[in-house]
Structure 1
């Protein structure tokens, strides 16, 4: 009984963002019963979806004992407020969204849009995942990443030293390391 009361009192929000893009595949993925059930199992109580220019509308829900409260919007002038309030962020692979989330110190799952040609964003997401700053998923693996993630294993990202990022960019562009 104590666990149920604690869950009701503590709101744990998952914030999903696609930035200014259209990424219906991500919105569809977070709207599936498998992903919602996994988030609920992990103690999350609310799902707030920023759907950008997408046309897929997620299913709204008031929430309850066995369901996640779900709400959505297209754009907001206060994304930083949503990031601050989030317990977990699921984001597209845009570098602005990634680094803003990491600067706020929030656990992050980056989902790559596989429909984009020449997707350099996936390389940045994979590199940051290899460094244990975030989790990396595809739309079809999102529920498994949520099920398997250990947020305590993530290493906080400390902005300021641009050397690792510059090195990654140089590698991507084909410049030799010094």
Structure 2
């Protein structure tokens, strides 16, 4: 078997996480035919969804008929292994999930839960997207973000310098940046 055959058969997992929240809009968006086809077109072979407290149950698939395999679970004591094994992470906008994924150097699409009141998480996600560390989406734009993304153009996040995060927090709290 040549190298190209091995590459074509390798697993490329998309890990989707909603954390401890209920974020059915994200799970539903990932479960659409359009998003699954777009991920498959981009070379991803399976989707694993951590669906939290959500009530929407995505449709499972074993990946036969050239479709993308889909599986799901509600909670895990640690998602670190899932993040490490992922080729792409699609996450809610929780800062813990965002920074853990960035620290592992994984391509990340953050999807903001528009149902949350006072959603300061979206500000963090937007700022990190502006800095080209991740992609930022809403449930209804996820398919377009996947279609247009160039994961190789993302800039690795180096957590050593807290200055940008401190500035963001200060701005959010209303302190001047003098």
Return 5+ residue gaps in structure 2 as ranges.
none
Q: Please give the root-mean-square deviation of Cα atoms over the aligned residues, in Å.
A: 1.5
Tell me the matched-pair count.
Answer: 177
2: CA distance, partners of 1:65 / 1:8: 16
TM-score after normalising by structure 1:
0.96
1:121 aligns to 2:121 (yes or no): yes
Q: How does 1:127-166 map to 2 (within 5 A)?
A: 127-166=127-166
Task: Report the equivalent of 2:84.
Answer: 84
2: CA distance, partners of 1:8 / 1:60: 23
Task: Report the equivalent of 1:9.
Answer: 9
Task: Report the equivalent of 2:32.
Answer: 32
1: CA distance, partners of 2:40 / 2:7: 10
Change over 3 Å in CA distance of 1:130–1:165 after alignment to 2: same
State the shift of 1:77 in Å. 1.6
State the shift of 1:8 in Å. 5.0
Task: Report the equivalent of 1:69.
Answer: 69
1: CA distance, partners of 2:113 / 2:59: 21
TM-score after normalising by structure 2:
0.96
Contact 1:7–1:43, Cα closer than 8 Å, also in 2: no
- Structure 1 residue ranges (4+ consecutive) displaced by more than 6 angstroms after TM superposition: none
Change over 3 Å in CA distance of 1:4–1:32 after alignment to 2: farther
